[in-house]
Structure 1
């Protein structure tokens, strides 16, 4: 068997902690993964992995061998990248997971442009709002949109999305424009139902912070549903710009307190902690950052400023 290929399999098994996860990630059968590990253990004359019914861990010798393998493979990858960068195109299947609303609203055009630029890359895109274990489920990377990020994965923030308190022109014509955030306590509001009902909205202006307890007229787990309800005049909404930015720019919604800070989400791109990042993953990260066109502290969907 090819020893370098076996080293790649061994590294992935240690990183993922599972023969089955490594097999899915590498598009191999579990039996073939076992053959590669057996080849290395026979070649080295040492037991490299301790196997249980639930997990696979490197032995003490295996941990040292893992470090040496990653160094060897990293050096080979760097040498090949330098030698063939001018002629070799990235290829393979890129597996990505992203939140449903963010994916539906913003990823199709980006993905289409990416695939046109890189014809030898295929794409699997899973849109879901559940918490995905990208290591165990074999994804190359994840896009997350969150206030705070608590994860052992490697990643970076690539943009922010600020919250605006918004209402439709029709609603404002009917009910009047509130002059102060405190007035929202007496207005019908639409807000998120998860992870718990967002019934306390925070406003900051001029160094002063204020919290307002609102009464939900509508609760939903779907940002798109809240957007449509707010545009229809059901009530006043607190929405992030990646959801409401286009409606604000078209005049379908009005930002009621644009000078107030109402909170912010970070847009993150995450990938499993491993030393060797495939070229297709690196170039997608660069392409996504380029497509959003800003920086880690910029909001590409805020058209109010």
Structure 2
């Protein structure tokens, strides 16, 4: 059997923790997957996997062998890509997962530009606000937006998105413009419902921190729904700039307290813990960094920039 192919199969088995799952992922029969593993165990004269009825886990020798296989396979892929660089463009399918709002509002235009630059690359884009396991589910990279990042994956922050307290001109004409953040307690507010209702809004101004408890007129799991509710004058929202930035720039919304620090989110790129990345992944990471300004401390959607 081809040892390199057997390594690819073995890596997939360890990543998915199942011979059957690896077989489905690689479009092979479970028997063929097992043969590949047996082939490697014979070559190494070592037991690489511990098998139970429910799960497959690498032995100590198998875990070490897995890391070496990953490095070898990445080096082979990069070597092939670099060898072909003079005669062909980068090729392959790039599987990306990203939050729904960021994906809908920003990724289509970026992806169109990226594909125009690299016609040999195809993209599978999965938009989901759940915590996606990019190793188990076979993604090349994930875009995550969070205050802090807690993950075993390799990641880098590529930008910031600051929160703004926003309302439409129509709402402010009807209900009045609050002068101090504490006045928000008597206004109709729009708030996120996950992971729990955002009923306490925090601010920092001139080094002084304060919190205001609001009574949401609308609670939603969707930032796009809250954006539209704010634009149509339903109430005042606390939204990140990547969601509300365009509406602020074109005058559909007003930032009520632009001098207040209402917190921020990090824009992160995550990828599996591997020493060497496929060329198409490296190209897309560099492209996103370029598109968002190339500075992890920069907010590309901030109206104050």
Give the Cα–Cα distance (whole angstroms) in 1 for the partners of residues 242 and 29 of structure 2: 40
Query: Contact 2:15–2:136 at 8 Å: present in 1 too?
Result: no
Give the Cα–Cα distance (whole angstroms) in 2 for the partners of residues 301 and 21 of structure 1: 41
Query: Contact 2:75–2:276 at 8 Å: present in 1 too?
Result: no
What's the offset of the Cα at 1:220? 0.9
Equivalence for 1:224: 224
Give the Cα–Cα distance (whole angstroms) in 2 for the partners of residues 32 and 118 of structure 1: 35
Equivalence for 2:168: 168
5 Å matches for 1:1-305?
1-23=1-23, 26=26, 28-77=28-77, 79-305=79-305
Q: TM-score, normalised by structure 1?
A: 0.92
Query: Contact 2:78–2:278 at 8 Å: present in 1 too?
Result: no
What's the offset of the Cα at 1:16? 3.9
Matched residue SS, 1:158: strand
What's the offset of the Cα at 1:291? 1.7
The CA deviation string for residues 222-278 of structure 1, in whole angstroms up to 9 with x for no partner, is 111111111111111111111100000001111010010001111111122233422
Query: Contact 2:145–2:265 at 8 Å: present in 1 too?
Result: yes
Matched residue SS, 1:198: coil
Shift in CA distance, 73/136, structure 1 to aligned 2, threshold 3 Å: closer
Give the Cα–Cα distance (whole angstroms) in 2 for the partners of residues 113 and 31 of structure 1: 43
Give the Cα–Cα distance (whole angstroms) in 2 for the partners of residues 65 and 218 of structure 1: 53
The CA deviation string for residues 117-142 of structure 1, in whole angstroms up to 9 with x for no partner, is 22222211111112222222222221
The CA deviation string for residues 100-157 of structure 1, in whole angstroms up to 9 with x for no partner, is 1111101111111222222222211111112222222222221111122222221111
After superposing on structure 2, the runs of 4+ consecutive aligned residues of structure 1 that deviate more than 6 Å are none
Matched residue SS, 1:288: helix
Structure 2, unpaired ranges of 5+: none
Query: Contact 2:77–2:278 at 8 Å: present in 1 too?
Result: no
Matched residue SS, 1:261: coil
Q: How many residues align?
A: 305
Query: Contact 1:18–1:55 at 8 Å: present in 2 too?
Result: yes
Q: RMSD of the alignment, in Å? A: 2.1
Q: TM-score, normalised by structure 2?
A: 0.92
What's the offset of the Cα at 1:78? 5.0
Query: Contact 1:249–1:304 at 8 Å: present in 2 too?
Result: no
Give the Cα–Cα distance (whole angstroms) in 2 for the partners of residues 300 and 179 of structure 1: 27
Shift in CA distance, 280/102, structure 1 to aligned 2, threshold 3 Å: same
Shift in CA distance, 70/174, structure 1 to aligned 2, threshold 3 Å: closer
Query: Contact 1:15–1:274 at 8 Å: present in 2 too?
Result: no
Matched residue SS, 2:179: coil
Query: Contact 1:25–1:139 at 8 Å: present in 2 too?
Result: no
Structure 1, unpaired ranges of 5+: none
The CA deviation string for residues 47-97 of structure 1, in whole angstroms up to 9 with x for no partner, is 221112332222233234334434544544454455443334322221111
